[in-house]
Chain A
């Protein structure tokens, strides 16, 4: 059932076997897994069923590091969480993301990709995707009739993404939770403090507040914190009743290692060789096996070379075909003694693309291949060039971190403070990405790259931003001094507190995080089922 905490009497005490804090992709996935079981599940969601400005404002915070989005913009604080506005790009992390990489410091996944593969398979339908077929991109491309660039044996490859509708977890799975007899969702319920016993080893109670409403408490045998990559750390830091520096923070790890995928828009341009390129998988993709999918350019282990991963997405530049296509449309219509559709639009295209059209006219009239009117005519291929957007993986950096600001929110809680930092190593990953791209496109004869900066330089040559993928702030590591949660997602030193979401990622690869969030949540749900069995 779905209830509203505003209706609770002040001082109410609730109890459940399992309490999940947060109803986003992670929290809802775990609740669904335990629905219709013997376990009583209580889900506490800060927001309601729809966006509310006052609740959303609880996410406001301070950026004191690199320029970043206002912290209440990239995430959403209502039922369904940030899935209410995610784009739906899905892909698992790669095996190399889990393995130690020489030169890539402090990597701490305690298991390999094979451990998560079964959960990735289960996560696919949860995110309304197709088969788990990312690793055999050649087979997918054959089925979709996508030619692949000839990168065999090189440093670059085509990497498959599937695109979720995107699944709005609240809308899609809310009715299921509402029907489940053992699940209760309390909306507008803000956890302000996780309280432990005096030794700090067991969570005893959650202190909760409703904006302008009652205060209440919750007791549960096990608690899952699933409030997102930033807020998970904030709640631990705010929970300082028995641990002055915050829960799970005895080794000063909570909030550190904040990572995002560094995003560069229109970083470079590639001019394809000869007749242009015909790579539909890279030029927006298509629906295949019932799921929209597309390809990005990503490094092989050889291309990663001990540094961070990256991916390029190509945005085809069709400009040189527009004028000729319009010319054909207009000429064809006139031959049929008809007035062409969108005549003005075609004329605009022809004028805009005059030199190319002139070349085409000359070729038809005189049978020549040289354009006497323009400086040069482009190849007549399907796509003459493409702009490139780059996402790159930043190295885990203890100085890139989430902390608490002095200012407080409407609940009297200290706001979040983000200090996003990159290092020289990330700059080198950036340079290597561009160099690998230029090398591989040149080696294979696919084209030449134009980049208006020195890839090997020391400074960041252009503006960048994050990708709104908040990761690493309660990272997984077997050693308490190196991370916040263990391999079972349990907070080191606390017997019944677990964390779900991208805050537990020790590394981030180049894949968007949601599929991995869901897979790891399914894995945690299985672990919880065993604990309750």
Chain B
């Protein structure tokens, strides 16, 4: 029977909520940054660290990870704002069953990779 502690649940709920809030519109002409789309980079980094602790192979070179994410974003058939494309990638991941478990939380691959990027970028 699962009885996560209240603090645990609240903390994770807040951290997960930030992933859906891509709320930093870029200035005109400025390249969009994946991490700038995160509402709360610290919370995302926390999830990323948890993911890396469970699956170290998700880590590696920050540049390579960022490049892989950039390529995935570019592959989305959408020229809209980055945060919208990321949102679509997340939905597509869930639809296709591309789900990663991080401390029991069932997250999309895109979310997990973004969080890992946030964790690696913060160190």
Interface residues of A (CB under 8 A from B): 265-269, 271-274, 317, 319-320, 355-356, 374-379, 384-385, 387, 435, 438-440, 442-443, 445, 447-454, 462-463
Contacts and interface: CB of A to CB of B under 8 A. Distances in A.
B72 interface: no
A268 B101 contact: no
A448 B91 CA distance: 12
Given A355-B10, A376-B11, A378-B10, A443 B2 contact: no
A378 B14 contact: yes
B31 interface: no
Interface residues of B, number: 33
Contact of B3 (A266, A376, A449, A463): A266
B104 interface: yes
Interface in B18-52: 20-21, 43
B108 A442 contact: yes
Contact of A376 (B15, B20, B97): B15
A376 B1 CA distance: 25
24 contacts: A265-B1, A272-B13, A274-B21, A317-B9, A319-B6, A374-B7, A374-B10, A374-B11, A375-B14, A377-B14, A378-B17, A439-B94, A442-B90, A442-B93, A443-B95, A445-B20, A445-B87, A445-B91, A448-B105, A448-B107, A450-B2, A450-B106, A462-B1, A463-B1
A395 to B, nearest CB: 22
Contacts of A375: 7, 10-11, 14
Nearest to B93: A442
Identify the 10 closest CB pairs spanning chains A and B, nearest first: A376-B14, A442-B94, A271-B13, A438-B106, A443-B94, A375-B11, A452-B104, A450-B104, A376-B11, A449-B106
B99 interface: yes
B4 interface: yes
Contact of B2 (A268, A378, A447): A268
State the main secondary structure of chain B at its contact with A.
Answer: helix
Given A274-B21, A449-B106, A269 B16 contact: no
Contacts of B106: 438, 442, 448-451
B2 A451 contact: yes
A289 to B, nearest CB: 35
Nearest to B97: A439
A267 B14 CA distance: 21
Contacts of A356: 10
A385 B21 contact: no
B105 A266 contact: no
A452 B16 contact: no
Nearest to B1: A266
Interface centre among A271, A273, A385 (most CB of B within 10 A): A271
A87 to B, nearest CB: 21
A266 B1 CA distance: 6
A274 B101 CA distance: 20
Contacts of A374: 7, 10-11
Contacts of A447: 16
A384 B10 contact: yes
Interface in B71-119: 87, 90-91, 93-95, 97, 99, 101, 103-108
Given A442-B94, A443-B95, A450-B105, 8 more contacts: A268-B2, A269-B9, A273-B17, A375-B11, A385-B13, A439-B95, A442-B106, A445-B91
Contacts of A272: 13
Nearest to A454: B101
A326 to B, nearest CB: 15
A462 to B, nearest CB: 7
Given A355-B10, A384-B13, A274 B20 contact: yes
B44 to A, nearest CB: 12
A387 B13 CA distance: 13
Contacts of A268: 2
A435 B101 contact: no
